[in-house]
Structure 1
Amino acid sequence: MTVAWMVLVGPSAPSGALSAGSRPVEAVRDVVPNRVMTWNICNPCEASNVDRAAEIARFAPQVIGLQEACVRDVEWIREYLESLHGLVYHVEYGTVLQDWGRCGGVPWNPGAFGQAVLSAAPMTDRVDVEYPDGGSEDRGYMAVTTTVGGRPVRVFNTHLAQRRQEAVRADQIGVLAAEVARHDRAIVLGDFNAVPDAPELTGIWALAADTAPQCHPSSTGTCKPTTDWQSKFDYVFLRGIVPLEHRVYPTPYSDHHLLHTDLDAT
């Protein structure tokens, strides 16, 4: 009854409402094992959470890192993934802003904004860290431990300072890299707002490799763009884990593409 009522009336937030133009979708039986995804879902953007959920379900990753995510939007995306696609996820949040204007809500209960991780397997040991200097907007990272390929792995999800704030991003990378270095097996997802050869990314390149073996910070590296302006800003960095194949998928529902990768987690 709850699902039927939701489909009829849609969520209370306009961005999550079902629309007459939403395309039909097919149920997905289960997630793709060992597949991880990162996606900056764009906020504020006029995108339906039904469509966002359908884009995620198209690839059915085991682990998803979302950036620029309002808690209410993620709640609806998660609900639609289960009710419309048969995909069941656990969720953890890494919020850095209580932002009424951006995420809706009411003054005494504003919407929270930041990162989120959805995982088919349970997650433990969540941490939520705000960078000492966020730049023009508060930024941070979150981390959880979950199971990929039958083995525990630490998953990080971050969103670094906006463009033209190189020094701020360098300091943020220092904070993030110090924590990543503590783990032999780690997956680092996120929107780094910097191209691969940007000097501020040196600290993370020293610890982990991009999921695309041909993508590296040298002049000979070949990296697929992940944004509408043809820059690579989005990464799946791997430490102690071998990539199998990856795909960058442009989407009309965000100015960032979906990036997913299959892993040999053994």
Structure 2
Amino acid sequence: MPRGVHLEEATVLRSGMRLPAGVMTVVCVVLVGPSAPSGAVSAGSLPVEPVRDVVPNRVMTWNICNPCETSNVDRAAEIAAYAPQVIGLQEACVRDVELIRDYLENLHGLVYHVEYGTVLRNWGRCGGAPWSPGAFGQAVLSAAPMTDVVKAEYPDGGSEDRGYVAVTTTVGGRSVRVFNTHLAQRRQEAVRAGQVRVLAAEAARHDRAILLGDFNAVPDAPELAPMWALATDTDPQCGPSPTGTCQPTTDWQSKFDYVFLRGITPLGHRVLPTPASDHHVLHTDVDLG
């Protein structure tokens, strides 16, 4: 008996019963299983939900946590729950993002373009064969096409290579420059200061910009000063000088994740803890008018 065939199924197959074509198709799927590798939904599958629109003026940043024992189905479901126009992911392996994008389309009816800002090829981080390790870094998903893509590594990444990816895309019906970054790990303040100077100088070339990412620093950290001179955070309670209750964005109750806005007005934001990562989902609706 083939592996995975239950006794009842085998009995039906041996009995010579003539099954309707539709029923036979279901039986074959049950017995054989999905044909796509790694459990991915096959290209011919229909979405379980109708195709739907994204929120056109919503942007989101999320460090998806790596390495973490989280399924890409769950990651896609988190994103689909808020359906942003643009998403910046950090600690992202290319293979994971490919599956997340497929699940968003096939399971949730949300279609995104993707640009990668990989900085490492690391078997320990992303798996793969030792001679072809997975690529690790940032990714931007956008419902609109992206142009003028820039992928850069910081001159000093600290204990691990770090960088940013920048694209021009559409948010709220307007063209905007979007940056996604992940700065050096904690206790590397001097390294982060250099990285912020590089990022701020690039963003300053644009009158209207959105900077997403995990900055690994709390709002009043001195190394973030160039960012505060350039842009404001979507959370009005967060700044270099505390003005109220600044919502934490991590499981250890620190504010590390930001949506910095330059020449753009925030309309409202949400910080949403999730079991899928040690960083919370942060999304905001914006007015580019």
Instruction: Report the TM-score when normalising by structure 1.
Output: 0.91
Cα offsets for 1:38-93 (capped at 9, x unmatched)? 00000000000000000000000000000000000000000000000000000000
Matched, 1:185 2:233: no
Partner residue in 2 for 1:38: 61
Partner residue in 2 for 1:104: 127
Instruction: Report the TM-score when normalising by structure 2.
Output: 0.84
Does the CA-based 8 Å contact 2:49-2:109 persist in structure 1? no
**Which structure's CA Rg is the greater one?**
2
C-alpha distance in structure 2 between counterparts of 1:212 and 1:85, whole Å: 29
C-alpha distance in structure 1 between counterparts of 2:117 and 2:123, whole Å: 17
Q: How far off is 1:122 after superposition?
A: 0.2
C-alpha distance in structure 2 between counterparts of 1:116 and 1:45, whole Å: 17
Q: Pick from 162, 173, 180: which aligns with 1:150?
A: 173
Cα RMSD (Å): 2.0
Partner residue in 2 for 1:49: 72
Relative to structure 1, the CA distance from residue 168 to residue 71 in structure 2 (aligned partners, 3 Å threshold; closer, same or farther) is same
Q: Secondary structure at the match of 1:175?
A: helix
Does the CA-based 8 Å contact 2:63-2:214 persist in structure 1? yes
Q: How far off is 1:12 after superposition?
A: 4.3
Cα offsets for 1:156-182 (capped at 9, x unmatched)? 000000000000000000110110100
Does the CA-based 8 Å contact 1:227-1:256 persist in structure 2? yes
Q: How far off is 1:251 after superposition?
A: 0.2
Cα offsets for 1:90-131 (capped at 9, x unmatched)? 000000001112101112321100000000000001111101
Number of equivalences: 255
> Percent same amino acid among aligned pairs?
81
Q: How far off is 1:191 after superposition?
A: 0.1
Q: Pick from 91, 111, 117: which aligns with 1:88?
A: 111
Matched, 1:222 2:239: no
Unaligned ranges ≥5, structure 2: 1-24, 42-47
C-alpha distance in structure 2 between counterparts of 1:96 and 1:261, whole Å: 27
Unaligned ranges ≥5, structure 1: 19-24
Report matched runs for 1:166-245 at 5 Å: 166-245=189-268
Q: Give the partner amino acid of 1:39.
A: W
Does the CA-based 8 Å contact 1:246-1:259 persist in structure 2? yes
Does the CA-based 8 Å contact 2:40-2:99 persist in structure 1? no
Does the CA-based 8 Å contact 2:56-2:173 persist in structure 1? no
Q: Give the partner amino acid of 1:213.
A: P
Q: Give the partner amino acid of 2:56.
A: P
| Structure 1 segments of 4+ aligned residues over 3 angstroms from their partners | 8-13, 25-28
